[in-house]
C-alpha cells in the first residue's frame, strides 16, 4: 500500500513539474518575442493607454501600435512604475535598438531602461 502511494506521488510530482517547465518555457519565449518587437521599434508618439501584460508593461500609442516591455525602476525615473505613472497624452520616445525609453510628462523627461532578453 505504501509503495502504491509513493508511486502515485512520484507520478503527480512529475506531472506538476512538467507543467511548470512548460509554462516557464512559454513565458521566456513570449518575453523574448516581446523584447525583439519592442527593441527594433522606433517609437515617437502620444500614449493612449498603459496596462499590465505578460508580467510586463503593455502600452498602446494613439496610432494603434502596441508594445510590451519590462522596465526597471531606478533613479533615472524617480523609481516610478511606468504603467502607473504614464498616462494618456504623455509623449513616448525610443529609437530602434536603444536601451532607453523616454517619457515626457508635464514638461519633465523620465528615462526607463528595461530587461533585455
**Mean of the per-residue pLDDT values for the chain?**
90
> For residue range 59-97, what is the model confidence (pLDDT) as tens digits?
999 999 999 999 998 888 889 899 899 999 999 999 999
Q: Convert the pLDDT of each residue in 5-20 to its tens digit.
A: 888 888 888 999 999 9
pLDDT at 2 over 80: no
Whose CA is closest to 51, among 43, 42, 60? 60
Amino acid at each position: 500500500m505504501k509503495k502504491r502511494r509513493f508511486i502515485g506521488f512520484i507520478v503527480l510530482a512529475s506531472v506538476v513539474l512538467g507543467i511548470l517547465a512548460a509554462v516557464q518555457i512559454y513565458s521566456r519565449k513570449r518575453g523574448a518575442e516581446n523584447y525583439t518587437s519592442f527593441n527594433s521599434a522606433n517609437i515617437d508618439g502620444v500614449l493612449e493607454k498603459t496596462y499590465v501584460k505578460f508580467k510586463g508593461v503593455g502600452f498602446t500609442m494613439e496610432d494603434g501600435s502596441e508594445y510590451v516591455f519590462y522596465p526597471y525602476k531606478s533613479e533615472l525615473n524617480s523609481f516610478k512604475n511606468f504603467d502607473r505613472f504614464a498616462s494618456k497624452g504623455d509623449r513616448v520616445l525610443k529609437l530602434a535598438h536603444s536601451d532607453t525609453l523616454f517619457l515626457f510628462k508635464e514638461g519633465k523627461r523620465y528615462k526607463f531602461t528595461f530587461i533585455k532578453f
